[in-house]
Amino acid sequence: MRNRLVMWATNADNKKILLAMDLITAENKVNTYLFDEETATEAFYKEMINGWRDGKEVEFPKHELLTKDLSVADDLLPEGIKVERHDVILRAKTEWHFMVLSSKMYQMYKSELDDFEEKVKELTGFDRSIWDELVSFWEKVQKQLNDKNLFREHGRSLKEKTNILFDDLKTMRKSLDSELRKASKEELNKLTTKLAEIEEKIEKGLGLKPIFEELKQLHGESKKANMTRNDRSKIWDKIDAAFSQVKEKRGMQSGSQQNGVSRVQRRMDGLLKAIQKMENSIKRDLKDKVFETNGCHKWAIRNADSTSKVENDRRAYPIQRREA
């Protein structure tokens, strides 16, 4: 895609002329050079086609210069100028609009990269926030490339500059990672030593509640320690194992206490059942005694009533003796 165009044309007087158009992308303008047929020799024409059109500078003979803004609505050709291949003019107009927009976008992104370059130069060590900002920047540029809103050459230039900054940050990160690994090993050794002392207390059977609190405190220290993910995972696994030991021993003690309580409870239940049986037996004996007492009393009353009745009947109805 060129920003210069050379072709034969005719002017308003229908005379043959050489037309040369030059896009000034930074100003969004088009310079149009018109050369008379007498001036535009064959040698000059070849020099324009093979050199000037590709960006080389060529000494111009006598000519007319016309400058106009690049506009979507207006024609690129000056008024009165005609060409045989007007489709070439239309295509150049479309491409030049894209080049101007891409150039403006490129300058904007290049300015952002210059700011990033200054920030990276001022760093004394790796900064994650700068890294994340640079990643977001490149994702934005990549989207414009995918949407074909950015000229490929512009995208390539931005990519080269961005990669240089990424490489600088990677070098800083490697140095930081090395320092972190060294500090992490020291923290791991300190925490492991403290854990070994706690494990020794567990083995000796010392108070489990204080030990449990010490483990909680150690776990809190490991969270705040400046450690790598791998080293932090190692110490957490060991602390978890110690927690499990304490919980297991606490469970055994609790089970032993529960067994003692259960034995006493069973004895109490047995005594209560025996007392209940004795009370039930006494109640039955008392009931039988009452029944027997009440039964004899009622029989005596009934017999007394019967004797009185017989005696009364005898008096009312004396027995008549038959004479022999």
pLDDT digits (tens, 9 = 90+) for 274-313: 777 777 777 777 776 766 666 555 545 555 555 555 455 5
Determine whether 48 is exposed, middle or buried from the number of CB atoms within 10 Å of its CB (0-12, 13-18, 19+).
buried
Q: How far is CA 201 from CA 17, 37, 236, 246, 256, in A?
A: 103, 106, 19, 10, 21
Average pLDDT of the residues in 260-272: 64
Q: Are 82 and 12 in contact (CB under 8 A)?
A: no
> Any idea which residue has 């150039």 for tokens?
103
Q: How far is CA 42 from CA 11, 37, 82, 84, in A?
A: 19, 10, 20, 19
Q: Is 160 a residue whose pLDDT tops 70? A: yes
The confidence score (pLDDT) of residue 319 equals: 47
> How many angstroms separate the CA atoms of 164 and 171, rounded?
11
The CB density around residue 113, as the number of other CB atoms within 10 Å, is 19
Question: For the chain, what is the total number of helices (H) and then of strands (E)?
Answer: 6, 4
Q: How many CA atoms lie within 13 A of 35 on its CB side?
A: 20
In this prediction the pTM is 0.52
> How many angstroms separate the CA atoms of 198 and 192, rounded?
10
Q: What are the boundaries of each domain within the chain?
A: 4-99, 103-178, 180-249
> How many angstroms separate the CA atoms of 89 and 297, rounded?
144
pLDDT digits (tens, 9 = 90+) for 96-125: 888 888 889 999 999 999 999 999 999 888
- At 14, list the tokens: 């229908």
